[in-house]
Structure formats: structure tokens, C-alpha cells
Amino acid sequence: MPRPNDEIAAVLQEYADLMAITGGDAFKVRAYEKAARAVAGYPEDVSRLDETGLRAIPQVGRSIADKVVEYLRTGTIAAVEEARARIPAGVRELTAIPTLGPKRAQQLHERLHVSSVAELADAIHQGRLEDLRGFGPKSAENLLHGIALLQQSGGRVLLDTATETAEEVLAELSRITGCVRCGYAGSLRRMRETVGDIDLLVAAEDSAPFMEAFTALPHTAEVIARGGTKTSVRTTTGLQLDLRVLPPDSWGAGLQYFTGSKAHNIGLRTLALHHGLKLSEYGLFQAESGRPVASRTEEEVYERLGLPWIPPPLREDRGEITAGLHGELPQPVRQEDLRGDLHTHTDLTDGLAGLEEMVAAAARLGYSYYAVTDHAPNLFMQRMTDEKMLAQRERLRALDGAGRGRRMRLLHGTELNIDPEGGVDWPEEFLAGFDLCVASVHSHLTLSRAEQTRRLVHACENPYVNIIGHPTGRLIGRRPGIDADLDQVFAACARTGTALEINAQPDRLDLRDEDILRARRHGVVFAVDSDAHTIGALGAIRYGVATAQRGWLTKDDVLNAWPLTRLRRFLLAKRTVHA
Ligand code: DGT
Ligand code: CA
Ligand code: CA
Ligand code: ZN
């Protein structure tokens, strides 16, 4: 989705939050929240629209359109600035707790005189919440849970936020004269699901112009440390960026060192010692003479250690060095390997774009097949009916293979809801009409471990369930996944020919990398899906691919990297065996 849309949506959402804190009109708060979501999901670049164009966006009326125009013209909105000034900083800090809304944050701030997360935690432990009307023992528990989640996330940001920021900053740095190479390293290059800080590297003879430009970036809110070859800044959103300038000759060694992980680097240094070598951020050297051996490229450094180049997502000390030495490193699946997307939505349920628009956007991504999987009836809010689903199927069949040139094939599917017993929405006769079914847990997230396990295993046993969607239901930093014996679920998937999804939405990345590694050992196959509800979200597939790579998957492990005939054979095999 166009980036300015996100930015404008964030301002509208902030305004809604600020109004809620100051006890503003609840109807108006809701109106701004809805408008924020509509802007975020709007397929066109909102910053290019005029007043009339803006008002054509669903949920955007005149007064909201005016504010957006003001923002686009001046970079701020007077009403938002005023609202910000009225809110104490302490309240804003409290709202960082995922289980605490703005209104209750304001109440806690006023009545307990707490202005930070730590002060609130103290107050709860001292039992001071018990005297407050409207905050029962459940609230205390809920708040402590939220504080724990916040601390676990430890100020880390999601992979998409970090990637976008790094790409913007690198675009600026690469324009500076004297930039021989630039790139990002650290956990971002390894594509971890969350990133603590962003490590940027530049290869150049003279570091001064880069240090200068870095501190003057529009993103920079505060300079944390400034030196000759390393500068750290904090962005307006609180994210730390480290920039290091290396001599072009030691680019490879520097990139290797700062990519990490620390544990992977320790493994490499030990290996170097066995070869009578010393590895540092400056290069690989003879231990005794100090004579340089390799430093210009990462490939050289790995090669001199007797290793193939190890892809960064694998550098987590999970056996990659041993596998490399034995020639057993996997060839990780790449985004170009994906031939289609198997879990997507349209505005027939909670998607924001229509069927034709989503299909056209998928075709632009070069896919050779694409599945539409709108929500099934048991997710009541979506108001799905048999008739609506069948009508969508007709429209989809009419679009299938239409258009000139490359012909993308369309699959008609659905995202079923797994009920507490493991059943799904429709009887088998109706399910048989779909090309494929994703089945996901959307409710009853707090059942016992035994019940969750049984429920998922039972869903796998349904001959029409092809993919388990976002298998644990976790939301990174906000909600832990369901408690289930995943090894039993993985075994059931392998036994029944059911694939596990790697949901690519950056706040899900579900299954996560470690669980993928385990599932792979059971012989499970996977589907890397965008679960897109907007055109822009189709692009999130890159984060799913990153997660698959971190789980050591090859294109053979991933259904949607297969040719359509092989995919269809896989889908039908399950039905045939059970028929
Ligand atoms: P993060 O930022 O917490 O998401 O994780 P990383 O892996 O990006 O860690 P960071 O930013 O502290 O350091 C970037 C890389 O630099 C790290 O992966 C390995 C290397 N590195 C940094 N400090 C050390 C150190 O003290 N020892 C070693 N061996 N490597 C280090
Ligand atoms: Ca880092
Ligand atoms: Ca760092
Ligand atoms: Zn879902």
C-alpha cells in the first residue's frame, strides 16, 4: 500500500486516541478510527488526492478530508497539535501498555498519580488499584499481563517497520558522494521477527559526510552518540539507528561481523582459530604474522574458513556452521520462487479491495495462480452466506484466465473457523465445491492445552482442510499464541497431508521460525501466505519468505512454490484418500 497512506492513517488514529483520552465525543472518536483504517487500506496514494478525491474514500467526510488536506499542505494538523499539548506525557507513556486504552490510562494517571509504566507496576503491587472504582482484581491482572508483554517486546519493532525505515535512510545515504557501498546488517539483515536497533553500514574512504548527513536526516529526533566512524541516533518514533563507516577494503568483514548473530560469530571465530586464523570486524588474518587473508567480501571470508556463504537468516547458531562444513546447508526458498498466494481476502468479508482489484494486483506481482479465501459464516461479523460464497465463485470463474498475455489461474477457497471441537463451518458437500480450504482458530483462545491440541488435530483430519492458517494465533508483542502440543499437531499435519501456514503479516509471522524448524522435522509442508486484506498487504509476503528462510525451508517445502499441477495433486490427494 502507498506509504503516505500509512502516515496519514497514523495521524488520524492518534487524533482518535487523543480525543478518547480527553473524554471527547465517542461518536467522533469512532469516526476517526474508521477513517484511519479506510485510509490505510485505500488502494490509491492518498497524498495525491484533492478534497473531492479524499471524500470518495469510504468513512472520510468533509471535516476529516479538510484535516488531511491541511496535513498534506503543512505537515501538521492544528487540532492534533492542540490535543497533544493537552495530554500529559505520562499518560502517553501508559498507553504503550497493550492492554490499556487511552481513557483508562488517563484515569490511572489522575487518580494514582502515576506517569510511567514502572510507577504503575509499583502501584499495582502495592495494592493501590484495589481502592479504585472500576478497577477490579481482573483489571490488575490484565494490566500486569500487558506490562509483561510490553517488557518482553522490550521496545523492539516489527520487521516491516524496521525494513521500511532502513530502506528510506539507505536511499539518502547512497546518494552521498563517496558512497562505495551501503546496506543494513544486524538482526534486520537476518530478518528476525523483531528488531532492537538498526545497524547501517557504509563503505567509503571518508566518513565525515556520512556522519554529518546522518545526524541531519528528517528521521532523526536525537543524536545519541557521535564519533569518527560510528554515530547513533534515535528516530522520531523512538527507534535507534547505528551507522558505521568502513574502509571499502574491509566491507565484507565488517558486514559479516555486524550481521551477527553474536552466537554465529563466536562459532566462526572458533573455527578460525582451528585454522590458525583470527577473525575480526576488520578481516580474517594469520594468527601469528597478522598477515591479512580476506576482508573485501563476505564470500571470501566464509570461503577461507572452509564454508559456503551462509545466508543471513540462517546465522543464528542453529547448526548452520556444521551443515556448511558438511555441504548440507539448505538452499532457502526465495520470493521469486513463489508462484502464488493461497490465503487472501476481498471486500466480500473484511478485506478493503474488491475481487477484481485484488486479482489484478496479484497478477501484477507475476503470480501464476492465486487463491481467494474469504471468511466462512461462523465468524458472525462477516455475515457470510452460502449464496454470497457461490456468487463470488461465479465471478471468480469468469475472471479466471481472462486478460491478455500471462494467464494467472484463480482458485476459489475459504478461510474456515475451527470450532472448539475441531469442526468447521460447512458440511462436506459444500466444502467439496472449493478448490482449497484454509482453516484457522479465531475464537476460544484460552482452552486448555489438551483441548487446543485435540481441536487442531481434529481439524487436520477433515479431508477438505488443506492449510492450517496462522497456526498459533499469536500477535507479536500483544498476544501469546494458543497453548497446544505443537509436536502432536505437526505429526497430524504430516500424517493427513495438511500444510501449515506461514502467515506473512508482520505482526503474526505465524508459524514462527523455531516452530517451522520443528515442524519440518516431522515432514510437514508449508504455505507462505500474505493473508492480505488490502492490495498493499499482498507485498507482506516478503516477510513470510524471510520467516520460511529462518526456518531453513527450501522451495520444495513450500506448496505455493510448486507448479499448479503439483499443488492441485496435493490438494486432491487428501480428499481421495479419505473418500
Ligand atoms: P538487535 O539489535 O537486538 O535486534 O540484535 P542485533 O543482532 O542486531 O544486535 P546488535 O545491534 O547489538 O549488534 C549487531 C551485530 O554486531 C550483532 O549481531 C553481532 C555484532 N556485535 C555487536 N556487538 C558485539 C559484541 O560485543 N560481540 C560480538 N561477538 N559481536 C557483536
Ligand atoms: Ca541491531
Ligand atoms: Ca546495534
Ligand atoms: Zn484468520
Last residue of a domain, one of 198, 214, 246: 246
Is 302 part of a structural domain of the chain?
A: yes
Q: Are residues 357 and 475 in the same domain?
A: yes
Distance CA 573, CA 25 (A): 56
pLDDT in tens, the chain (579 residues): 346 888 899 889 989 988 887 778 888 999 999 999 999 989 888 988 999 999 999 999 999 999 999 988 878 888 988 887 777 777 877 877 877 877 788 889 888 888 888 888 888 888 888 888 888 888 888 888 888 777 666 678 999 999 999 999 999 999 999 999 999 999 999 999 999 999 999 999 999 999 999 999 988 888 989 988 899 998 877 789 999 999 999 999 999 999 999 999 999 999 999 999 999 999 999 999 999 999 999 999 999 999 999 999 999 999 999 999 999 999 999 999 999 999 999 999 989 899 999 999 999 999 999 999 999 999 877 789 999 999 999 999 999 976 655 689 999 999 999 999 999 999 999 999 999 999 999 999 999 999 999 999 999 999 999 999 999 999 998 788 999 999 999 999 999 999 999 999 999 999 999 999 999 999 999 999 999 999 999 999 999 999 999 999 999 999 999 999 999 999 999 998 765
Q: Is the distance from the beta carbon of residue 254 to the nearest atom of ligand 1 less than 6 Å?
A: no
Q: What is the pTM of this model?
A: 0.79
The residue whose CA has the least distance to atom 8 of ligand 1 is 186
Q: Are residues 224 and 261 in the same domain?
A: no
Q: Are residues 356 and 455 in the same domain?
A: yes
Q: Ligand 2 center to residue 433 CA distance, Å?
A: 48
Last residue of a domain, one of 108, 130, 153: 153
Distance CA 394, CA 370 (A): 16
Last residue of a domain, one of 246, 276, 309: 246
Is 508 part of a structural domain of the chain?
A: yes
Residue closest to 95 by CA, chosen among 162, 142, 147 = 147
Q: Ligand 2 center to residue 216 CA distance, Å?
A: 21
Domain count, the chain: 4
Distance CA 526, CA 412 (A): 19
Of 189, 201, 246, 262, the one to substitute when testing ligand 1's pocket (max ligand atoms within 8 A of C-beta) is: 262
Is 251 part of a structural domain of the chain?
A: no
Q: Ligand 2 center to residue 481 CA distance, Å?
A: 26
Residue closest to 489 by CA, chosen among 459, 527, 444, 447 = 459
User: Which residue range is the domain that position 477 belongs to?
Assistant: 335-578
The ligand minimizing its distance to the Cα of 270 is: 1
Q: Ligand 1 center to residue 258 CA distance, Å?
A: 6
The residue whose CA has the least distance to atom 14 of ligand 1 is 186
What residues sit around ligand 2, an ion, with C-beta below 5 angstroms?
Answer: 186-187, 197, 199
Q: What is the CATH number of the domain that holds 310?
A: 3.30.210.10
Q: Are residues 224 and 81 in the same domain?
A: no
Q: Is the distance from the beta carbon of residue 195 to the nearest atom of ligand 1 less than 6 Å?
A: yes
Q: What is the CATH number of the domain that holds 207?
A: 3.30.460.10
Q: Is the distance from the beta carbon of residue 256 to the nearest atom of ligand 1 less than 6 Å?
A: no
Give the nearest ligand 1 atom to 266 CA.
Answer: 29
Q: Are residues 519 and 414 in the same domain?
A: yes
C-beta separation of 169 from 200 below 8 A: yes
The ligand minimizing its distance to the Cα of 418 is: 4
Q: Ligand 3 center to residue 210 CA distance, Å?
A: 17
Q: Is the distance from the beta carbon of residue 261 to the nearest atom of ligand 1 less than 6 Å?
A: yes
Burial class (CB in 10 A: 0-12, 13-18, 19+), 340: buried
Residue closest to 243 by CA, chosen among 269, 217, 270 = 217
Q: Ligand 3 center to residue 4 CA distance, Å?
A: 28
The residue whose CA has the least distance to atom 13 of ligand 1 is 186
The residue whose CA has the least distance to atom 3 of ligand 1 is 196
The residue whose CA has the least distance to atom 15 of ligand 1 is 258
Q: What is the CATH number of the domain that holds 370?
A: 3.20.20.140
Q: Are residues 411 and 287 in the same domain?
A: no
Q: Are residues 418 and 317 in the same domain?
A: no
Q: Are residues 191 and 275 in the same domain?
A: no
Q: Ligand 4 center to residue 415 CA distance, Å?
A: 7
Distance CA 576, CA 579 (A): 5
Is 463 part of a structural domain of the chain?
A: yes
